[in-house]
Structure 1
Amino acid sequence: MKRILAKGGVVATLALSVVLGASAVHAQQTIKVGWTIPAEESKYWMMKRPQEFPDIGKAYNIEWVQFQGTAPMTQALAAGALDCATQSPLALAQGTVSGGLKAYIVAQHVFEKPGSFSVYWAVKDDSPIKTIADLKGKTLSINTLGSGIYGPMAILLKQAGLDAAKDVKLVEVGFALSEEGLRSGRVDSAVMNQPFAARMEAKGGTRKLFSLSQQQPNIVHILEACRADFIDKSPDLAKLYVRDLTLGMQKALANREETLKVVNEVMKAPIPVLETYLLRDNDFARDPGAAPNFTAIQQMLDVYVETGMLPKKVDVSAWKHPTIVAPLK
């Protein structure tokens, strides 16, 4: 009887080990990903059309966690609560310099290039403001004080003889309310982003004053970053994820009609509104393979140092993994 009980104990122990081992493998194959709105079409495809990605749900799983911006995701990455997340170059740099975050840029979502949409400041058609220099003493909106678009804007004001900290008043207005702020007179010039710019332009009565592309032609707005320790410990899992980001971008660009539906499901924006700009010439640019533009990112980091948004120079090469970066097939 003792031998039978002992044998049973061994079997039970082995069974428990198998269960625990299986749970550990399952946990290891689940990646926690932060996301936000808008302009993450590759991730929206992965989220809403997982059947189009052979590895999702089979080789690995994704736990999607929504955030309201990149800065909170930077904090979540630094705390180890996320494995990968959408980032702006500035948020990632601040997390690196001040938060001790070590990460790799693995893909890129949207950027600006000549001919594409560029974030801009608008004024009313009848406004006496004709040049950047005319903004002295005026009120401008910005989505968030200290956001990534502040640096290029401050450079452009400086080139026109203005100090962004002294010669203009900046007020925080979310992109969705920028048009209302301008038309109501709350601000003299409002920052515009898509899809809100397309909506405002369709109504008329406003004009573009200046855009970020005047400071730098290839500004990177959002990219994908993963914690360095996650990639170092689980390189195969990271490769699966980056491979699907690459595939997601390809699907988004290849099938615009379906992408409109996918984005509608995520953003809840009417397809007729999305139709006016999404993946058209008046939208941001997207690299076909989701490849990060490290040269442009370095130029942006240098601007942030110049405008005091970063306390010291950051070398973008530290963010580039030798093998795990889009495009991956």
Structure 2
Amino acid sequence: MRVKQIIWAGAAVVLMAATPLSAAAAATKVVVGFNVDVNTIPLHVLVAKGWDKKYGIEVESKGFARASDSHTALRGGALDAIVNMGTNSVALLNQEGGDVKGIRVISLPHFKVLVRKDAPYRTVAYLKGRKMAVTSIAGTSYILTAMALRAINMDPKKDAEIVTGAPATILGLLEKQEVASVTLWEPFVANALKTGMVRVLEDPSKIYKDRYGEDFLHTSLAVSGPFLAKNREAVRSLLKALEEGIQFTLDHPAESNQIAAGPLKMPAEDLADARKSWGDSFLRVGTGETIVQRLNNMYARMHELKILEKPADARQFWVVNP
């Protein structure tokens, strides 16, 4: 009897050893959206390197051309997270009745106001009374532009006519002189400059910083509130994997560009040009109380412009330690 027990025990150990880890404890799947942008390179790196699986999750990434489309997907349950949601959008979506939690600020802006090369304008102030194109009223292309206009005492709702469309669409409008300017981000800026048709008029984030004395905080890892409530450990794992992705992207630019070229559908050389223009402005540190206060400063300015209908307190929808 004793011998049989030992044999059965040994067999059980062998069986457990032969059982794949995924069968014993299946990795939590996390569907992560991204808007086409150089600041998403860490996401593509972490997936390629398998760091999601290292931390017990399985990341599926989905790309979107416009921020508004990814927001709709998140609110509708098609996404669990967005790796580069505008920090401004986190506040907006919550005020619109969404349940979105900001987890970590990822990067500073890399937006530029572009005009035709032959345009006579010298500064953004010259655009008063003209049509200005952005990709979405809910996205950073509009909000940062509006806050830059406000910083130079222009009213974005009275002193400009705002037109929206996908990047290719609004660049086409600019080429046909149907708008005076477009506000875009990398890699769209670098690619547009290569055509020789446009030039940079101004950097709206610089206008903002010159006026307020602090950086505009651009993108963030944001998650669905219901997903966080049910999968807090998976969100922690996603954050850990993303931190590794950010560090690798900074330490190994050439390899990370090669990895991201496929998902972003552009040559690694173009990504390198875009990153050079941007300056790799990833935030090296996580989101703590200092960052939360700067977010609140931004939200107060958004409320002043009536971009936010009500005052917003970042502490209500930012989770510093998930």
Give the distance between the partners of 1:206 and 1:134, measured in 2 at CA: 16
**Match of residue 29 from structure 2:** 30
**Match of residue 180 from structure 2:** 188
Give the distance between the partners of 1:199 and 1:236, measured in 2 at CA: 39
Aligned: 1:200 with 2:192: yes
CA 1:155/1:58 → structure 2, altered by over 3 Å: closer, same or farther? closer
**Match of residue 225 from structure 1:** 222
Aligned: 1:48 with 2:48: yes
Aligned: 1:131 with 2:129: no
**Post-superposition CA distance 1:264-319 (Å, at most 9, x none):** 111121222222222x2534510234547333322322222111121111111223
What TM-score do the two structures reach when normalised by structure 2?
0.78
**Post-superposition CA distance 1:126-159 (Å, at most 9, x none):** 4232233322332221112343332342343345
Return the letter of the residue paired with 2:34. Answer: W
Aligned residues: 292
Give the distance between the partners of 2:172 and 2:79, measured in 1 at CA: 35
CA 1:138/1:317 → structure 2, altered by over 3 Å: closer, same or farther? same
**Match of residue 320 from structure 1:** 318
Aligned: 1:210 with 2:202: yes
Counting aligned pairs with the same residue, the percent is 20
Question: Which structure 1 residue ranges, 5 or more long, are not aligned?
Answer: 1-21, 113-117, 325-329
Give the distance between the partners of 1:161 and 1:231, measured in 2 at CA: 40
Give the distance between the partners of 2:150 and 2:234, measured in 1 at CA: 46
C-alpha deviation, 1:230, in angstroms: 3.4
**Match of residue 107 from structure 1:** 104
**Post-superposition CA distance 1:161-195 (Å, at most 9, x none):** 54322332222243245544334322222223211
By percentage of residues, which structure has more helix? 2
Return the letter of the residue paired with 2:134. Answer: I
- Say whether the 8 Å CA contact 2:104–2:320 is kept in structure 1: no
Give the distance between the partners of 2:135 and 2:283, measured in 1 at CA: 25
- Say whether the 8 Å CA contact 1:246–1:289 is kept in structure 2: no
Return the letter of the residue paired with 2:255. Answer: E
Q: Secondary structure of 2:254's partner? A: helix
- Say whether the 8 Å CA contact 1:120–1:192 is kept in structure 2: yes
**Match of residue 61 from structure 2:** 64
CA 1:177/1:106 → structure 2, altered by over 3 Å: closer, same or farther? same
What TM-score do the two structures reach when normalised by structure 1?
0.76
C-alpha deviation, 1:246, in angstroms: 0.7
Q: Secondary structure of 2:60's partner? A: strand
Aligned: 1:287 with 2:283: yes
**Match of residue 4 from structure 1:** none
RMSD, aligned α-carbons: 2.9
- Say whether the 8 Å CA contact 1:70–1:91 is kept in structure 2: no
- Say whether the 8 Å CA contact 1:40–1:109 is kept in structure 2: no
C-alpha deviation, 1:41, in angstroms: 1.4
Give the distance between the partners of 2:256 and 2:186, measured in 1 at CA: 16
**Match of residue 12 from structure 1:** none
